[in-house]
Chain A
Amino acid sequence: MKQSGVVVIGGGHAGIEAALASARMGVPTTLITMDPSKIGEMSCNPSIGGVGKGQLVKEVDALGGEMGKTADFTGIQFKRLNSKKGSAVRSSRCQSDKKLYALRMQKVVAEQPGLRVLTGEVKEIRTQGSSVQGVSVALPSGGLEWLPAEAVVVTSGTFMKALMHCGESKNEGGRFGEKSALGLSDSLKDLGFHLLRLKTGTPPRLLRGSIDFSKMERHPGDPEPRRFSFWDTRIELPQVDCFLTYSNAATHDTIRENLARSPLYSGEIRGIGPRYCPSIEDKVVKFPQKERHPLFFEPEALDSDWIYPNGISTSLPASVQEAFVRTLPGCERAEFARFGYAVEYDCIDPRQLSLSFEAKHLTGLFLAGQVNGTSGYEEAAVQGLIAGINAALKVKEAPPFTLSRAESYLGVLIDDLSTHGITEPYRMFTSRAEFRLSLREDNADLRLTPYGKALGLIGDDEYHRFQTRAEKIEKSRALLDQGTIKPSESLDRDLAALGSSPLEQAQFASQLLRRPEIGLDDLLGWFPLPWELDPETAETLEVEVKYAGYIALQRDEIARLRKMQGLSIPASLDYQRIAGLSFEVREKLTKAKPGTLADASTIPGITPAALTAVLFHLRQNEGLSAHRKV
Chain B
Amino acid sequence: MAVVDRKSLSFEDTIFALASGPLPSAVAIYRVSGRGALPWASKHFLASSGSKVDARGMFYGALIDAAGQEVDQVLLLSFLGPHSFTGENVVEVQCHGSLAVAEKLERLFLAQGLRPAVRGEFSYRAFHYGKMDLGGMAKLGDVFAARSGHDLERVYQRRDAALQSEVSKVREHLVRLQAILDTAVDFSEEYASVVESAKSPLVHARDLCRAVAGRYEVFKQGGQTPRLVLAGAPNAGKSSLFNALLCRYRAIVNAEPGTTRDAIEEDVEINGRRWKLVDTAGFRDAGSETEKQGIDLGADYLESASFWVLVVDGTVGLTDAEAHLLKAYGDLPHLVVWNKRDLPGFCSSDVADAETSALDSESVQELSLLLSKRALPPPEASRALPTSFQAKRLLTAATALDSLLADLSNGVVPEVLGEANRMVLRQVESVVGDVGVEEVLDRVFAEFCIGK
Rounded to whole angstroms, the CA-CA distance of A608 and B420 in the bound complex is 20
B432 contacts A608, CB within 8 Å? yes
* A564 with B185: CB separation less than 8 A: no
Among B130, B133, B422, which residue has the most Cβ atoms of chain A within 10 A? B130
Q: A516-B412, A560-B436 are in contact. Are A431 and B182 (CB under 8 A)?
A: yes
Q: Contact between B187 and A51 (Cβ–Cβ < 8 Å)? A: yes
Are B413 and A87 within 8 A (Cβ)?
A: yes
Query: Does B87 count as interface, using CB distance less than 8 angstroms?
Result: yes
Complex contacts, B411 vs chain A, CB 8 Å: 516
**In the bound complex, CA of A626 to CA of B130 (Å):** 10
Q: Once bound together, how far apart are the Cα atoms of A389 and B190, in whole Å?
A: 37
Q: Is the CB of A86 within 8 A of B434?
A: no
B81 touching A611 by the CB < 8 A rule?
no
Residues of A within 8 A of B265 (CB): none
For B87, B182, B412, B434, which residue has the most chain A Cβ atoms within 10 angstroms? B434
Contacts of B438 in A (CB 8 A): 563
A87-B413, A516-B411, A630-B88 given; A431·B185 CB < 8 A: yes
Looking at the assembled complex, report how far the CB atom of B114 sits from the nearest CB atom of chain A, in whole angstroms: 15
Which chain A residues border B188 with CB–CB below 8 Å? 51, 81-82
Question: Per-residue CB proximity of B405-434 to A under 8 Å, as 1/0?
Answer: 000001111011011101100000110111
Interface residues of B in 357-412 (CB under 8 A from A): 410-412
| Inter-chain contacts of A563 with B (CB < 8 A) | 437-438
Across the A-B interface, how many residue pairs have beta carbons closer than 8 Å? Answer: 107
Closest to B87 in A: A627
Q: Is the CB of A611 within 8 A of B412?
A: no
| In contact, B187 and A553 (Cβ under 8 angstroms) | no
Contact A89 B433 (CB under 8 A): no
Over the window 113-156 of chain B, the binary record of Cβ atoms lying under 8 Å from chain A Cβ atoms (1 yes, 0 no) is 00000000000000011100110000000000000000000000
Question: Which chain B residues lie closer than 8 Å to A437 at the CB level?
Answer: 415-416, 419
Other-chain contact of B433, A52, A430, A609 (Cβ < 8 Å): A609
Chain B, 167-197, CB within 8 A of any chain A CB: 178, 182, 185-190
Mask for B1-34, Cβ within 8 A of A = 1, else 0? 0000000000100000000000000000000000
Q: Are the C-beta atoms of B186 and A88 separated by less than 8 Å?
A: no
Asked if B276 lies at the interface with its beta carbon under 8 angstroms from chain A, I say no
- Chain A contacts for B185, CB-based, 8 A: 51, 82, 89, 430-431
Return the chain B residue nearest A52 by Cβ: B186
The reply on B435 being an interface residue by CB < 8 A is yes
Instruction: Tell yes or no: A436 within 8 A of B by CB.
Output: yes
Please name all residues of chain A whose beta carbon is closer than 8 Å to the beta carbon of B81 when the two chains form the complex: 627, 630
Q: How far is the CA of A616 from the CA of B289 in the complex (A)?
A: 67
B420 / chain A contacts, CB cutoff of 8 Å: 550
Q: Is B35 an interface residue (CB 8 A)?
A: yes
* B129 cross-chain contacts in A, Cβ below 8 A: 623-624, 626-627
Contact indicator B415/A88 (Cβ below 8 Å): yes
Closest B-chain residue to A615, C-beta based?
B437
Complex contact A429–B415 (CB within 8 A) = no
Contact of A564 with B437 in the complex, beta carbons under 8 Å: yes
* B113 smallest CB distance to A (angstroms): 16
Are the C-beta atoms of A619 and B415 separated by less than 8 Å?
Answer: no
Which residues of A sit under 8 angstroms from B433, Cβ to Cβ?
Answer: 607-612
Type the 1/0 row for A549-569, where 1 means its CB is closer than 8 Å to any CB of B: 010011000001001100100
B437 and A430 within 8 A (CB)? no
Q: Given the complex of chains A and B, what is the CA–CA distance between A544 and B159 in angstroms?
A: 45
Within the complex, the shortest CB–CB distance from B182 to chain A, in Å, comes to 4
Q: A51-B186, A89-B185, A516-B410 are in contact. Are A608 and B429 (CB under 8 A)?
A: yes
Which residue of B is nearest A427, CB measured? B186
Top 3 closest A-B pairs, CB basis?
A608-B434, A608-B433, A609-B433
Besides A437-B416, A612-B434, 20 other A-B contacts (C-beta < 8 A): A51-B185, A51-B186, A82-B415, A88-B416, A89-B185, A89-B413, A294-B190, A430-B185, A431-B186, A436-B418, A437-B419, A560-B436, A608-B429, A608-B430, A611-B434, A612-B134, A612-B433, A615-B437, A627-B82, A627-B87
Can you list 20 pairs linking A and B with CB atoms under 8 Å apart?
A86-B412, A86-B413, A430-B182, A431-B186, A434-B422, A560-B436, A563-B437, A597-B437, A608-B429, A612-B134, A612-B435, A612-B440, A616-B133, A620-B130, A623-B130, A624-B130, A626-B129, A627-B82, A627-B129, A630-B81
| A-binding residues in B (CB < 8 A) | 11, 35, 81-82, 87-89, 128-130, 133-134, 178, 182, 185-190, 410-413, 415-416, 418-420, 422-423, 429-430, 432-438, 440
